[in-house]
Structure 1
Amino acid sequence: MIRIQLPPAEAEHLEALFRSTTDRKLRDRVQIVLMAHRGRARQDIATAPGVDRRTVTRWLNTYCANGLSGLRPKKSKGKSGHIPAALADEVKTWVLTGPAEQGLDRANWTHAELADHLLKTKGVRTSRSAVQRFCSKIDIRLYRPTYHHERGDPVQQAKARPEIAELGNGQGPGSSSS
């Protein structure tokens, strides 16, 4: 049996955290500490969150050494991105101008095609998901519409109205009325 004596204020704080947290890992770890505080056996503590007895011992030791901050899950750092930040402007240009400007027969980029293009042109070997994260980080989306609805120039529209009216009457330029 592992018993931890918690001051009443700390036990109440852990109880409140246990009831309010949405983080499953933190909730399980706090539950382990609270069950040990209540005098439960290590095997009984392990069955509640479904962990091994050694895991219970590890989290209790961590709590004793570091307090609540030791129980909070840490996000793993992971492998750094393969795409150098110096390529951000060039990748943005590629996406905005489209793959056709790079000699490809596509209307739009996909993350996989952009990863392949990075490998062929820059020698940067990367994955589709890494390209997706990189594009998100530099605030660029690969979707590029193939058409634009832009407002016409009002001056040119005013000049064209008489010509259009003549065409509608059948008296356009080059028409003969014989």
Structure 2
Amino acid sequence: MPLRTACPIDLGAAERARLKMMAYGHKTEHRLRVRAQVVLHAARGRSNARIARQTGLHRDTVRRWRNRFAEQGIVGLSDRPRAGRPPVSTALRRAEAKALACQLPTETGLPVSRWSCPELAAELTARGITGPISPSTVRRWLTEDALKPWQHQSWIFITDPDFRAKAARVLDPYARTWNGEPLGEDEYVISADEKTSIQARCRCHPGLPPGKARALRVNHTYRRGGSPRLSRRLRRPPRPRARPHRRTNRHRPVMNLVTQVMSTEPYDSAKRVYWIVDNGSSHRGQKAGRLITAFPNAVMSHTPVHASWLNQVEIYFSVVQRKVVSPNDFTDLTEVGDRLRAFEDRYNTAAQPFQWRFTTSDLDDLLARLDRHNADHHEESSVALAA
């Protein structure tokens, strides 16, 4: 009877590197590690008997993985699909579980605000939809349709019938147009607002700098050192600029900011200066109106209610919040002001215009989607009431 010869193994550089990672990687499964070692031994021209002695495997096992790698490559080292135990859950049960997850728990009589996987598993068992089931199985079912009932988001319905017209008065100057006419070189657009709630939290213990496998640490206990108000204006184009912060309230910071800007060039002699502001109390009323009428070339455009995200200066405020204010570790208000002024000087040296891409066309698409969503919501509510 002729002797059976071992199948020769030839490895490329990429295959050898990958097999070495599998054979000696700390996170590789044990079975894949052993199979990769078998192939590496075989690539060195060793016999199956010798590989079996070195790895502690049976000769037939070595022969199987050697031949399978020669036929299929690295893919052949993985286990083949197995039939396994028949699934206990049916498609109908999974659909009922997902339908329950899409309902509010209060509608089912459960005194919780949001579903969790353990509560869903208990409710499915109590209703007899399934037998005893684990929360991990419920989570796996919900993952099939990307359902996460334990999360929540908030939104605001648009109630202003003139929302589109008011938003266009903000978006058109961003696009360098006004009443359908392009803006000239001597016309400017300024986004202005105030950032409140900048507290000087004086920590009872100094913060610890970050280190290896350790984040920046800030003491939880603090005393309040006051809160200034930050007034800013953002010019388009070409670069963001900032004005010194003010500690007073209401109209005075806005009056000082507008007067300071409109009294300097090129705004003093400009044909028109468009001020984009929100509906804060300091931007409305008779005082704000008198302030604008004092400068004939100034035009104030208010964003719609609950639409301060249309004001581009909010982008700069988010930068200040991330890079300066958080995690809010200051000794007093003086340090807050010094830090803000130093950051402004640093930021303005390398600031670039924000790439604003939301136009009136995008606004029309957004309003159309909201109308369809509201129509579907009202239709579902009507069906539920009729049922």
TM-score normalised by structure 2 residue count: 0.32
Please name the residue that 1:102 is paired with.
108
Q: Pick which of 36-45 and 119-128 moved more.
A: 36-45
Q: 1:150 matched to which residue of 2? A: 156
Structure 2 residue aligned with 1:140: 147
Deviations 1:62-112 (A, max 9, x none): 433784434333466655554432244443332232211111111111111
**Partner residue of 1:45 out of 20, 39, 54:** 54
- CA contact 1:32–1:45 (8 Å) conserved in 2: no
In structure 2, list runs of 5 or more residues that go unmatched.
23-27, 164-284, 286-387
Q: 1:58 maps to which residue?
A: 61
Distance 1:77 1:103, change over 3 A: farther
Counterpart selection for 2:134 from 123, 127, 132: 127
- Secondary structure class of the residue paired with 1:113: helix
Change (3 A) 1:75 1:3: same
Paired residue secondary structure (1:153): coil
Q: 1:33 to 1:98 in 2, by over 3 A?
A: same
Q: Equivalents in 2 of 1:141, 1:81: separation in Å? A: 24
1:133 is displaced (CA, Å) by 0.5
Contact 1:110-1:142 within 8 A present in 2 as well: yes
2:105–2:111 CA contact under 8 A, matched in 1: yes
- C-alpha distance in structure 2 between counterparts of 1:120 and 1:96, whole Å: 18
- How many residue pairs match? The answer is 146
User: In the alignment, is the contact (CA less than 8 A) between 1:98 and 1:144 conserved in 2?
Assistant: no
Shift in alpha-carbon separation, 1:98–1:105, aligned structure 2, 3 A: same
Counterpart in 2 of 1:111? 117
Structure 1 residues 16 and 127, CA gap change in structure 2 (3 angstroms)? same
Take 1:72 and 1:89, find their aligned partners in 2: how far apart are those partners?
Answer: 32
Q: Find the residue that maps to 2:102 and give its secondary structure.
A: helix
Q: In 2, distance between residues paired with 1:83 and 1:142?
A: 21
Distance 2:7 2:96 in 1: 60
Letter in 2 for 1:154: D
SS in 1 for 2:10: helix
Runs of 4+ off more than 6 Å: none
Query: 1:140 offset after TM fit, Å?
Result: 1.0
Q: Does the CA contact (< 8 Å) of 2:118 and 2:134 recur in 1?
A: yes
What secondary structure, in the 3-state scheme, does the structure 2 residue paired with 1:39 have?
Answer: coil
Classify 1:5/1:94 alpha carbon distance in 2 versus 1 (closer, same or farther; 3 Å): closer
Distance 2:158 2:16 in 1: 62
Cα separation, partners in 2 of 1:81 and 1:135, compared to 1, 3 Å? farther
In structure 2, do the counterparts of structure 1 residues 61 and 101 end up closer, same or farther at CA, with 3 Å as the change threshold? same
CA distance in structure 2 between the partners assigned to 1:139 and 1:150 by the alignment: 24
Instruction: Show the counterpart of 2:205.
Output: none
Higher helix share: 1
The alignment partner of 2:156 has SS state of coil
Q: How does the TM-score come out when normalised to structure 1? A: 0.61
1:123 and 1:91 map into 2 onto residues whose CA distance is 8
- Going from structure 1 to structure 2, the CA distance change for 1:156 and 1:87 (only over 3 Å counts) comes to farther
The reply to whether residue 4 of structure 1 matches residue 9 of structure 2 is: no
C-alpha contact 2:93 2:130 (8 A) present in aligned 1: no
CA contact (8 A) 1:96 1:144 kept: no
Gapped regions of structure 1 (runs ≥ 5): 47-51, 158-167, 169-178
Give yes or no for contact 1:111–1:129 (8 Å, CA) kept in 2. yes
SS in 2 for 1:17: helix
Distance (whole Å) between structure 2 residues aligned to residue 105 and residue 156 of structure 1: 40
Give identity over the alignment, percent: 19
Q: CA RMSD in A?
A: 3.5
Question: Take 1:129 and 1:78, find their aligned partners in 2: how far apart are those partners?
Answer: 19
How far 1:34 moved relative to its partner?
3.6
Equivalents in 2 of 1:65, 1:95: separation in Å?
Answer: 45
